[in-house]
Structure formats: C-alpha cells, structure tokens
A = this chain, B = another copy of it.
C-alpha cells in the first residue's frame, strides 16, 4: 500500500464527490491521460484506499424519515460484555453507526427508522434488550444540519 501522490489525491477527491464519474471525465478533471487515470483508479480500489462506492438514497423516500442518536451504557466494562453488545448491534439493520467512545457513554448509536412510534417500538423491544445494556439516552434529531459530509483532505 504505497503512498498517495497529488494525482491520487485528486482522483480520490473527485470520486468522493461524484462516484459515477466515467474514466474519461475523471481523467479530464485530474489532468492525466485516460489510460493513466484508469490504472491509478484501479490501484486505489485494489489497495483499499477506496472502500466502496455507494449511492445515497433519500431516507424519507424509503420510509426512514426519522433519525435518532442513542447513548448506551453497559452493565460491566469487560471485553466479553463489549463483544456481546457489538455482535448484537451489527445484526441490527436500523443501526447505521455504532462507536465505542470515551466519556459518559460506552457507545453512541445512530439509528434510522420510519418515525417516533417506530423508534419507540425498537427501543422497547430491541435496544434495551441488547446484551449488557444498563441504560440508554435518546436524542431525537429535530433537524439534520449536515449529513455525511465529504472528508476534508
């Protein structure tokens, strides 16, 4: 996994903004020949600099209009306890993000559901039933100011 030069960075930046750019268009934007651009891009994918390309679907259009952040505190802070919780969270499709954090919580989750009623059900039936959960704190998102911004590089 060699280092990234200026051209690589330009390719990454372009693709981060428009993942469906054709190789020809991409080459024009980063000022290299199509052949070179193709090889560079290939490498960036093959060596894991780009972990995937994904279409962003408008959440509301697919019945996922509500966003909720949840702080979770576990009963015990043992490796087994963490592992069990993480394993269970990975199975929950509604959980978009899950991070182990330092601070007042053990984990912070980002969850998308249809509406508040849906979240209430999820909370009562699945969230508090997750392995080792002592308490949760819910933060309903009232306004999404910024979502998934591009990486600043």
- Of all chain B residues, the one with the shortest Cβ separation from A141 is B99
Interfacial chain B residues near A50, Cβ < 8 Å? 55-58
Q: Given known contacts A93-B149, A101-B69, A145-B98, is B64 in contact with A58 (CB within 8 Å)?
A: no
| A52 on interface, CB distance cutoff 8 Å | yes
Shortest CB-to-CB span from A101 to chain B, Å, is 4
Task: State in angstroms the CA–CA spacing of A153 and B113 once bound together.
Answer: 10
Q: How large is the interface on A (under 10, 10 to 19, 20 to 34, 35 or more residues)?
A: 35 or more
Contact B54 A56 (CB under 8 A): yes
Contact B55 A153 (CB under 8 A): no
Contact A145 B55 (CB under 8 A): no
Task: State in angstroms the CA–CA spacing of A147 and B152 once bound together.
Answer: 17
Contact B51 A57 (CB under 8 A): yes
Interface of A with B (CB < 8 Å)?
Answer: 1, 4, 9, 12, 15-20, 48-59, 61-64, 67, 69, 86, 89-90, 93-105, 107-108, 112, 137-153
